Structure 1
Amino acid sequence: MAGYLERLIEGLSAEWAGFLRDWDRSLKAGNYPETTRYNYLLAASQLGHYLRGGVADLEAGDAALDPTDVARAHIEYFQAWMVQTRSASTALNKHKALQQFFKWLRDTEEEIDRSPMDRVKQPKTAKKLVPIIQEQDTTRILDSCKGKSFVQLRDEAIIRLYSNTGARLSEVGNLKLDDLDMTTDSVRYHGKGSKDRRVRFGPRTGRALSRYLRARAKHKGVALPDLWLADRGVQRLAPNGIKLMLKRRGRAAGVAHVHAHRWRHTFAHEWKRAGGDSGDLMLLLGWESDDMPRHYGASAAAARAQETHFRMGIGEDV
């Protein structure tokens, strides 16, 4: 992802490019994670490119050259275009990112008096139950890692951490050696908003990590501070590399749509299904909003309802 800013602003006006560079500097100063900065800047640059390419039924005018001239109508056309060409959920993500951009222009830079986002409604999105990963599917994926090679040991340790702790892709992917404590069988995750938390892992995950650490000690990238190392060259295995690895392991195991977030949903599903406390779940998964347990636990609620319905046998006695 390094060097993303120059790619995003290529083809934009000097004013758009300048403001996005300044915003990126401001986000860095605020210690925003790189993934968040990228997603924010991507949304703003996409709006700039959209306006520069011309807006049907609306004159982009000076807004194509300067973000301080963007009006509510420009945002609404862009948002509708996102819904049509991508999806409502993607449009919603762009909406939230643009709220931050124009808030920064208004409050920090004082370049505008009012944000064009003020009266733009968020796009409505369909609420879908995220499919969890069944235990047998996780077993099949882990079976694809069986062996004693460096890659097999590394991949098993990574997958077990996701399954056992429900962490985010970036949280596992950005771990340093110092974040792992094999004495207490725990890991320190660096969550959103620079909020750290320590989470325990089970004996099978601990055994997989120990085996990987022994293999890592013999690897050519051993001097790096990062926990996960690439198979070739002296370099880390970044979160995007882990994302691709999970897809490969899924294909090898015959399991579709394998990504880290499904284990996060599965963790919340099983926790709620077992009657676990929502407050404890929030602490373990690094959430602050009460909405998150409800969202992630929706599939568990549906499963409980189905099980209760079957047990009660309503309508079966007639």
Structure 2
Amino acid sequence: MNNELQDYLHALLVEQGLAQNTITSYQQELTEFFSFLKAQQITTFNQIDRYTILGYLKFCDDQKKSRNSVIHTVTSLRQFFNYLMAQNKIKADPMLKIDTPKSAHHLPQVLSAAEIEALLKVPDTHKKLGVRDRTLLEVMYATGLRVSEAANLKMDDLRLEMGLISTIGKGDKQRIIPIGDVAIQWLEEYTKDARIQLLHGKESPYVFLNNHGHQLTRQGIWKNLKIMVKKAGIKKDVTPHTLRHSFATTLLENGADLRTVQELLGHADISTTQIYTHVTKKHLTEVYNKYHPRA
């Protein structure tokens, strides 16, 4: 079964040309599914039926997975079994009578200006890792980079003299993003001193490095951010994507048009960007209710 999984992932890369991050996501979800099958003593694909899938979805629910995570899992399983059918590896598709759960509609979590300031003050900028963390926070908030885009940012992507950086987003699409003066100043300070210290005489194309001079991973960014959020006294459930949400909301609250924000975020569909208009309206309502005497 694991051989079929590897063949499938290779097909996603070679035949469909999917981005590596997308393939990694599919691999993780299918690996978790395979672990469930092993626990159920299911050793062949033809043993899997509709009830096996329903049992796994109940297992995901018991694990408190989010609605959107379960939706993505169903999509991953549906595509995988479509592949197995096309390769004549199974006699029947167990996903045929499995409905995809409806998406959970919720507004993205954002940080207020005061919370952003509190978070930015956490890194100890007298230390090399503190300078790195402060720079990373400044860059992510100033540009709206996804965590994978920040982790994969390379020195050659920086055009600081022009006030720009380039990045490769979803679908391997390149976009050029303006970056503000404050983030530029931190990048210049970090790359001239702290980054050189982190390299320990080695070389790396990546901007953000760990203490061993290697690329700072997505998991590393998540872990460090959780620690900083706690130190800042922020009670919200903050992830690296929260900085991206906060970037978009700040722009809209200060008069940016939706198309510009869409371009900066690298959204293929403007409907994805429109969720932030609901966030800004919610914020306006909260301000009105708090400060207007007739509210």
User: Which TM-score applies when normalising by structure 2?
Assistant: 0.87
Query: Corresponding residue for 1:143?
Result: 121
1:95 aligns with 2:74: yes
Q: Distance in 2 between matches of 1:169 and 1:18?
A: 30
Q: CA contact under 8 A between 1:83 and 1:90: conserved in structure 2?
A: no
Q: CA contact under 8 A between 1:32 and 1:193: conserved in structure 2?
A: yes
Deviation string 1:69-126 (CA, Å, 9 cap, x unpaired) is: 533332222212212322333322211221221233234x353576433432122454
1:235 aligns with 2:214: yes
Q: How do residues 1-318 of structure 1 correspond to structure 2 at under 5 angstroms?
A: 16-29=1-14, 30-54=16-40, 64-87=42-65, 88-107=67-86, 109-112=87-90, 115-215=93-193, 216-218=195-197, 219-220=199-200, 222-231=202-211, 233-256=212-235, 257-307=237-287
Between the two proteins, the alignment pairs up a number of residues equal to 290
Q: CA contact under 8 A between 1:221 and 1:235: conserved in structure 2?
A: no
Query: Corresponding residue for 1:4?
Result: none
Distance 1:99 1:163, change over 3 A: same
Give 2:244's aligned amino acid.
R
Q: Distance in 2 between matches of 1:209 and 1:223?
A: 18
* Larger RCO (CA under 8 A, 6+ residues apart): 2
Unaligned runs of 5+ in 2: none
Q: CA contact under 8 A between 2:50 and 2:97: conserved in structure 1?
A: yes
Q: Distance in 1 between matches of 2:270 and 2:53?
A: 30
Q: Distance in 2 between matches of 1:135 and 1:67?
A: 52
Q: Distance in 1 between matches of 2:144 and 2:13?
A: 27
Distance 1:310 1:151, change over 3 A: closer
Deviation string 1:242-284 (CA, Å, 9 cap, x unpaired) is: 1111112222222243321111111222233334322222211
Q: Distance in 1 between matches of 2:188 and 2:5?
A: 44
Q: CA contact under 8 A between 2:46 and 2:91: conserved in structure 1?
A: no
Report which stretch shifted further, 275-284 or 167-176: 275-284
Q: Secondary structure at the match of 1:147?
A: coil
Q: Distance in 2 between matches of 1:69 and 1:138?
A: 52
Q: Secondary structure at the match of 2:205?
A: coil
Q: Secondary structure at the match of 1:188?
A: strand
Q: Secondary structure at the match of 2:111?
A: coil
- Deviation of 1:178 (Å): 0.7
Q: CA contact under 8 A between 2:125 and 2:134: conserved in structure 1?
A: no
Q: CA contact under 8 A between 1:40 and 1:101: conserved in structure 2?
A: no
Distance 1:284 1:106, change over 3 A: farther
